[in-house]
Chain A
């Protein structure tokens, strides 16, 4: 469902992503991990078409993002780490706007919006401006705006920033259900427990290179026994931090 071939991205004179080859299947939950500046967000932005590849190809559902961007966008949902929305629209208006962009039939849209607003506990403030929402509320609106059009592929950047425990629980449950229903999810996160709990496969990026990939069991067998944290620290720590970890 998601495929990248020798994907590279250069900003000015720096390669932030080098020769990335991903192959994610339909109804698979894939987690991309990596330290700060590893290229995770860049990868998501390249997959969604927010950035253009310097070299290489991106295929979503068999469509090339560069030559058939509209076909790809019909399949895609995207949840950024910081929800920049239209502050002068109400929550309801924003959701209707997104639903109309995706051409959802009016009655279905109304039903979906109503259902998810109830589920996420935003029904009461749906008619107030987004500028008055907290960060977590905006993040919930972003999730709803993606769920109402039920994308085939969902890209999630840091899924739980600013959310309360109840919302976190709900989102984890919903994401699991969506994958069971056939949705493909690619998620970038720093929270290793989430990846451990949800992911079918994990990829670890460091300095723009995919340095490890596989299911949790495969990684444990290949790299280190223990938790995902141990595996992650073992392959991404530099010499200084490795010494520091040892001393501890």
Chain B
């Protein structure tokens, strides 16, 4: 186990030092800008907290709710991310075939793959959590060692979450095929939908109700006997000086995580072998011409576009890792928007309604940003070792780039359009707000897709066995920070102007709004141009 991890560390060290030796300035710039961007995110969260605190009682309640919800969401997202990484690193990687030929116990290989996937899946969430906790500590005047102390809580939390991802991953691989899996996911959505519809009976405009623990989402995120709530419970008790209670939650976390690791070490080997054998036997399933082939054969699009569309769509549909994540993302978003009418936000005052319209725009953009990182950023790395086929094709790289952009943008824009339309309809937003949010959505989707595709081209790795390595790499982090910063700044600017207008502090609203729109659009297009240019140039220079 230690040998494997040392090997990984050595490879990482060699890679970093080779990059530093060959491109010292670029290396230092990336490190410097990454730290600056992380500090920027810290400042943005801090600014958000300061705003919430300035609201008084509501603000403090929202911050506490956010704390629980954050860990609730991260727990499941981390589990999903781990599941995908574990699958690709264990059962789709050629390294596993090699490792199985070595005189090493299989349970050790399985354990190593678990730890490796945990490290890969968790380093970005850990970074985000530290930034969040640091801002939280600052706003609540808690000693600065809290972010350091919270590590003791994070490690078992991450292990438990990843173990859950592991259980789901091995269960799916053991008991499902593609069709069964798809039907199962749809059934889960329907069941959850029915459960949610049943649980929301009350309609009110009382803001205290909206933030109360009656709401099922808040209620679940605070459930004391479920592990995702143990970190916020522990830290909040620590903050309140209840050290004993804080310690109880910490002890819970560690004992459960050690139990998970122990059972994995004891039983993981057998499960690993069975699934590996099942997975590596060729299935020779036949795929005949589908409706998609016939549709794309219709000469509605230029010849090359149709050819590449068909290839990219087929590769997406036949890769359960990709469409499963896509379904989960949209499933979560669907439930979020379903709740809007249940909460009757449309009955609120204009001030709150306006805030919620922009919060929804923010959440839709966050989802577009996250999807762009997950699906658009690795578009080039997804070509992987087959990239030579594109590199040797007598078609200009910029045409292929354009095809990838159009496909990604169409999907992102249309889905976000539906979401923003639903949100505005449910909130009964006024027409100007309707148009404004549509416009923001259009330009922001365009920009986010361009940023991700450009950076994806810049950081493309054609040697990796599994594409998610690209998402979890330094390039993925840079793209994540850029997308997130862009979304935060965009929403902040427009919310702020609207807020000033609604509270009567902005006299010439139309003029300010138009100027902001022009400036924001101009800056967005400028950034799009720069990143597309840099990405495309780098792609042309990349050797195979």
The CA of A131 and the CA of B319, in the complex, are separated in Å by: 12
Chain B residue, CB-CB nearest to A93: B314
- Give the contacting residue for A127; candidates B18, B287, B384, B389; CB below 8 A: B287
In the assembled complex, how far is the CB of residue B461 from the closest CB belonging to chain A, in whole angstroms? 14
Asked if B386 and A85 make an inter-chain contact with CB atoms under 8 angstroms apart, the answer reads yes
Chain A residue, CB-CB nearest to B390: A101
Asked if A50 and B287 make an inter-chain contact with CB atoms under 8 angstroms apart, the answer reads no
The CA of A2 and the CA of B354, in the complex, are separated in Å by: 67
Residues of A within 8 A of B394 (CB): 70, 73-74, 101-102
Beyond A89-B315, A101-B304, is A76–B284 a contact (Cβ under 8 Å)? no
Chain A residue, CB-CB nearest to B396: A70
Chain B residue, CB-CB nearest to A71: B394
In the assembled complex, how far is the CB of residue A180 from the closest CB belonging to chain B, in whole angstroms? 25
Q: Is B145 an interface residue (CB 8 A)?
A: no
The CA of A86 and the CA of B318, in the complex, are separated in Å by: 11
Asked if A80 and B304 make an inter-chain contact with CB atoms under 8 angstroms apart, the answer reads no
Map CB proximity to A onto B302-330 as digits: 1 under 8 Å, 0 otherwise: 01101100110011001100000000000
Beyond A50-B544, A127-B287, is A101–B393 a contact (Cβ under 8 Å)? yes
Residues of A within 8 A of B179 (CB): none
Q: Is B288 an interface residue (CB 8 A)?
A: yes
Asked if A97 and B391 make an inter-chain contact with CB atoms under 8 angstroms apart, the answer reads no
The CA of A131 and the CA of B280, in the complex, are separated in Å by: 10
Map CB proximity to A onto B340-354 as digits: 1 under 8 Å, 0 otherwise: 000000000000000
Q: Is A45 an interface residue (CB 8 A)?
A: yes
Residues of A123-139 contacting chain B, CB below 8 A:
125, 127-129, 131-133
Residues of A39-80 contacting chain B, CB below 8 A:
45, 48-52, 70, 73-74, 76, 78, 80
- For chain B, the bracket of interface size reads 20 to 34
Asked if A129 and B287 make an inter-chain contact with CB atoms under 8 angstroms apart, the answer reads yes
In the assembled complex, how far is the CB of residue A16 from the closest CB belonging to chain B, in whole angstroms? 12
Asked if A86 and B388 make an inter-chain contact with CB atoms under 8 angstroms apart, the answer reads no
Chain A residue, CB-CB nearest to B462: A84
Asked if B392 and A48 make an inter-chain contact with CB atoms under 8 angstroms apart, the answer reads yes
Main secondary structure of the interface of A (DSSP, over half): mixed
Asked if A85 and B389 make an inter-chain contact with CB atoms under 8 angstroms apart, the answer reads yes
Asked if A84 and B384 make an inter-chain contact with CB atoms under 8 angstroms apart, the answer reads yes
Q: Is A182 an interface residue (CB 8 A)?
A: no
- Give the contacting residue for B388; candidates A84, A102, A103; CB below 8 A: A84
The CA of A181 and the CA of B371, in the complex, are separated in Å by: 51
Q: Is A118 an interface residue (CB 8 A)?
A: no
Q: Is A12 an interface residue (CB 8 A)?
A: yes
Chain A residue, CB-CB nearest to B397: A69
- Give the contacting residue for A89; candidates B288, B314, B391; CB below 8 A: B314
Map CB proximity to A onto B390-429 as digits: 1 under 8 Å, 0 otherwise: 0111111000000000000000000000000000000000
Asked if A52 and B284 make an inter-chain contact with CB atoms under 8 angstroms apart, the answer reads no
Asked if A101 and B395 make an inter-chain contact with CB atoms under 8 angstroms apart, the answer reads yes
Q: Is A88 an interface residue (CB 8 A)?
A: yes
The CA of A86 and the CA of B314, in the complex, are separated in Å by: 10
Beyond A50-B388, A86-B311, A101-B395, is A129–B22 a contact (Cβ under 8 Å)? no
The CA of A155 and the CA of B283, in the complex, are separated in Å by: 33
Asked if A90 and B287 make an inter-chain contact with CB atoms under 8 angstroms apart, the answer reads yes
Asked if B22 and A12 make an inter-chain contact with CB atoms under 8 angstroms apart, the answer reads yes
Q: Is B541 an interface residue (CB 8 A)?
A: yes
The CA of A45 and the CA of B396, in the complex, are separated in Å by: 18
In the assembled complex, how far is the CB of residue B411 from the closest CB belonging to chain A, in whole angstroms? 18
Q: Is B240 an interface residue (CB 8 A)?
A: no
In the assembled complex, how far is the CB of residue B430 from the closest CB belonging to chain A, in whole angstroms? 47
The CA of A84 and the CA of B544, in the complex, are separated in Å by: 12
Give the 5 A-B CB pairs with smallest separation, nearest first.
A84-B385, A132-B282, A73-B394, A100-B307, A88-B318
Q: Other than A93-B287, A100-B306, A128-B285, give 15 A-B pairs with Cβ distance below 8 A.
A: A12-B18, A50-B392, A50-B544, A73-B394, A80-B388, A84-B385, A84-B386, A85-B386, A86-B311, A88-B315, A93-B311, A98-B389, A128-B283, A129-B285, A132-B282
On A, residues with C-beta under 8 Å from B are 12, 45, 48-52, 70, 73-74, 76, 78, 80, 84-86, 88-90, 93, 97-98, 100-103, 125, 127-129, 131-133
